[in-house]
Structure formats: structure tokens, C-alpha cells
Amino acid sequence: SKHPDPFHTLREVEILDAKIREKLCFLDKVEPHATIAEIKNLFTKTHPQWYPARQSLRLDPKGKSLKDEDVLQKLPVGTTATLYFRDLGAQISWVTVFLTEYAGPLFIYLLFYFRVPFIYGHKYDFTSSRHTVVHLACICHSFHYVKRLLETLFVHRFSHGTMPLRNIFKNCTYYWGFAAWMAYYINHPLYTPPTYGAQQVKLALAIFVICQLGNFSIHMALRDLRPAGSKTRKIPYPTKNPFTWLFLLVSCPNYTYEVGSWIGFAIMTQCLPVALFSLVGFTQMTIWAKGKHRSYLKEFRDYPPLRMPIIPFLL
Amino acid sequence: MGIVPSSVVLTSFQVMSRVFLIWAVTHSVKEVQSEDSVLLFVIAWTITEIIRYSFYTFSLLNHLPYLIKWARYTLFIVLYPMGVSGELLTIYAALPFVRQAGLYSISLPNKYNFSFDYHAFLILIMISYIPIFPQLYFHMIHQRRKILSHTEEHKKFE
């Protein structure tokens, strides 16, 4: 028979509601090397309406959520662990949200491009614009969202599986709303092509294509940083691909390239709503980039000091 | 800035909506300035602000008469709907003049491929009162219950 080993005694876990401190669940005979993910699964058995994705378990009612990978015996708890539970609300997978929010603009823009009835006057139904730039814009916009959909399916590695359900309504309103607003003007029978003509369109197209390639290169580089199924975080560095050299100057070059793409699109179409969409997107991405930059600085002592969050040397 | 404990978001929203009513509606559409609805919201806002700033001042001086606290959390019940009615009626009165003059509106075609219909925008603003007003109103009612009953409890222990 085995020696009685204190580190292998079975543990007890009690789960209390973080707000009202009511005892929700008591688990006994829990393996000390059980992970939080396994405990969440056990909790779901007694409360099936709270599936693991919507559980937030913490050591302190007001503290940070424990991670799924955390192991019970490594936590600062005794043989009976007290965990506090908060309901995160209905959850939806990131993949579902991304696919929905990107498929919308792809489809909606085309409705305007083909001048489907009831958008413009009836005499314009199913007519085609006589401006080359309008056709080019449709190709660029569609390419952009097809790229995003494919990246969601095949490239991105998400560290969180889910997000709150209400986000899908908020996000889709934003993406679909702006797509409709931009598409309305670009495909309008009274659309005015850019002031500087073909020169302006060519320059803008070049900016757009370069930034799309850049953005894709960064997504691939980030994917390669993290092996499948792992949640490890590492500092991203430039690779042989010149588009990734922007990592020397910014923490989130994917956002830098994304803003660049939309600026290109705005110049190409010379459409104010596109410029406004770029501005709003830039604001949001700057907030995200600053957050990411701060996490990097906190986590890695040797983080390259030259890097800024999103705009080299400036922001 | 932390001087008074109000939410920055809620307060900015209120300031913005007030500036909008004064500048973008009442000042911009001269024909509306003689309407009774303007008097209605100006009176509502004036009384509200006199009470509110007295409340803040006395609070900061740590000498808040119960009457002021009561007034702040009770008179809104009448003043708020009064103000909202004045605002909505004013915007509504401005509509025909906005449409006639094409005020603040731009139509296609133009160099920046943009259009804006101020008339439609004002109608959207009016519609937005429907979800927003009840939320703010019931928030104040909730605050009232919390703050005025709290004082009662304190009084009991004195």
C-alpha cells in the first residue's frame, strides 16, 4: 500500500455565491491536482443552467477570476477550498460572433452594389455604376471581409472561448450599420469620384493592398507564436517577412495595418462616412492596443522599450 | 474631477443634451423662440439647477439641510417630465422651419459623398427620448428610495 502522502489527500471544495455568500455547492473527494476547469464541470452537474463558460470562480468575492488551467493544490487554500462564484451571463463563442459580424458587411455591401430595389430610386434598380472606382471599392471591401472570415476560421487562436451574449448585438449593429452607411454612398447613382482621379485611386489602392498584406502577415506571425491548444503568451518579434518588421516599432502592428487599410479605402472612395468609420475604428483599436501594450509591459521585464502601442513613436 | 460624486457619463450626457436644445434648436431656429414650450423647459431646468447646486454646495460644506436633499430627490418627479415635455414640444415646433430652410442639411451630389438630413435627425432625437427618459427617470426614483430612506434610518438612531 502507498505511504500516506499529505499532498495527495483528497480535498473538499465549497462554492459560494460571491454577492450573497449563499452556499451553492459542496464537492467532496476532489483530487488535489484537479483543475478549475474540472471543478467548473462538477459545478455544472448540480447547476446545469450555469455551464462552465459562464462561471467565474474566484478565491475572493471581489478578486480576479481563476483561470481554467489553475490547479487546486497550487492555490492558497486549505484542505477545504472556498471558491466564490459569479454568473457571467449567457455566453457565445468568439468564432460565432466574428463570423456573424463579418458576414453581415460582406453581404450588405453587395446589396447596395447591385442596387437591389427599394434602396435607390426605382429607375436605378439593378443598374451598374459607370465609375471604375466603385467596382474597385466593391472588390476591396469584399476582399477585406472574406479575408477576415477565413482568418477567423483558419488563422486566429483565441485565448478565450466565449464572450457575453449581448456583445453580438452591439458588434453586429456597429459593423452592419457602418457597412450599410458606407455602401449607400459609394454605390449611389449620384456618387462623385475622387477629385484627383486615377492617380488618387491608384495611390489609395496601393496603401490598401500593402496594409492588407501587412495585417495578414501579422496575424500569421501571432499564430505561429502560439502552438495549437496552448494559451502561452510570448513577445512577438519581427520575422523574415518585411511586413512584420513593424514589430520593431509597435506592439500591435495588426491594428496599425488595419487603420492603414481603411485610410486607403477612404482616400480611394473619397467618402466621408468611410473616414468616420476609420476614425471610430482607430479610436477603438488604440484603446485595445494600449491595453495589450500595458499587459506586455507588466508580463515581460525585457519588453523592447522602443515600441509604442499602435503608431510608431507617437501613440 | 471628483469634486462631486456624480457619474461623468450621465452628467456629460445631460450637459450635451442641454447645449443641443439651446444651440442647435432654440438658437438656430428663431421662429421657435417665442414658443411656450421654451419657457416650460427653461423654468424646469432653472429650478432643478438651483436646487442641485445648492445641494452640492451644502454637501461640500458638510452642512446639508434635509430640505435641500428632499427637494433634490423629490421635485424631479414633476420637474423632469416638465422639462422633457418642453424640450420635445420645442423640437417638434422647429421641424417645419428646419425642413423649409434645409437647415444644417447637405444633399448629394457633393465632393465628399455624404448627406445629412437635419429634419430626420431631429425626429430620431425625439424618438430616442422613448428609451432614454424612462431609464433616467427610474434611476432617479431608485436613488430617491435609497437616499431618503437611508436618512430616515439615521434619524431613528439619533
Identify whether B112 is a catalytic site residue.
no
A residues 159-198 closer than 8 Å to B (CB): 185-186, 188, 190-192, 195
User: Which residues of chain B lie closer than 8 angstroms to A273, CB-CB?
Assistant: 113-114
- At a CB cut-off of 8 Å and minimum separation 6, what does B129 contact? B84, B87, B88
Rounded to an integer, what distance in angstroms lies between the CA atom of residue B73 and that of residue A207? 57
Q: Is the Cβ pair B114, A270 closer than 8 Å?
A: no
The helix/strand/coil state of B134 is: helix
The one catalytic residue in B35, B56, B80, B92 is B80
- Nearest-by-Cβ selection for A270 from B108, B113, B115: B113
Q: Which of A188, A190, A271 sits opposite B112 (nearest CB)?
A: A271
pLDDT for the residue numbered B158? 46
| Number of Cβ within a 10 Å radius of residue A273 | 21
B106, B108, B110, B113: best mutation site toward chain A, by most A Cβ within 10 Å?
A: B113
Average pLDDT of chain B to the nearest whole number? 89
Given a contact cutoff of 8 angstroms between Cβ atoms, the answer to whether A13 and A81 are in contact is yes
Residues in chain A: 315
- Specify the CATH architecture of the domain A11-89: Roll (3.10)
**Amino acid (one-letter) located at A240:** K
pLDDT, tens digit only, all 315 positions of chain A: 445 555 567 888 888 998 888 888 888 888 888 889 899 998 999 899 999 989 999 988 888 888 888 888 888 888 888 899 999 989 998 899 999 999 999 999 999 999 999 999 899 999 999 999 999 999 999 999 999 999 999 988 877 788 899 889 999 999 999 999 999 999 999 999 999 999 999 999 999 999 999 999 999 999 888 777 676 778 899 999 999 999 999 999 999 999 999 999 999 999 999 999 999 999 999 999 999 999 999 988 889 989 999 999 998
pLDDT value for B87? 95
Omega of the bond leading into B131 within 30 degrees of 0 (cis): no
Whole-angstrom distance, CA of residue B130 vs CA of residue A173:
19
**For residue A279, what pLDDT is reported?**
97
Q: Please state the pTM of the whole predicted model.
A: 0.81
Chain A CB contacts of B117 under 8 Å are none
- Contact (CB<8Å) B108/A269: no
Q: What is the largest CA-CA distance in chain A?
A: 89
Look at strands A11-17 and A23-30 and give their pairing.
Answer: antiparallel
Please report, for residues A96, A198, A274, the alpha-carbon distance to residue A208 in angstroms, rounded to integers and kept in the order given.
27, 15, 13
User: Which of these is catalytic: B49, B56, B73, B87?
Assistant: B87
The predicted complex's ipTM stands at 0.76
A 194-223 residues inside an 8 A Cβ radius of B: 195
pLDDT in tens, B7-65: 787 788 888 989 999 999 999 999 999 999 999 999 999 999 999 999 889 988 888 88
Nearest CA in chain A to B107: A190
Segments making up each domain of chain A, as ranges? 11-89, 93-299
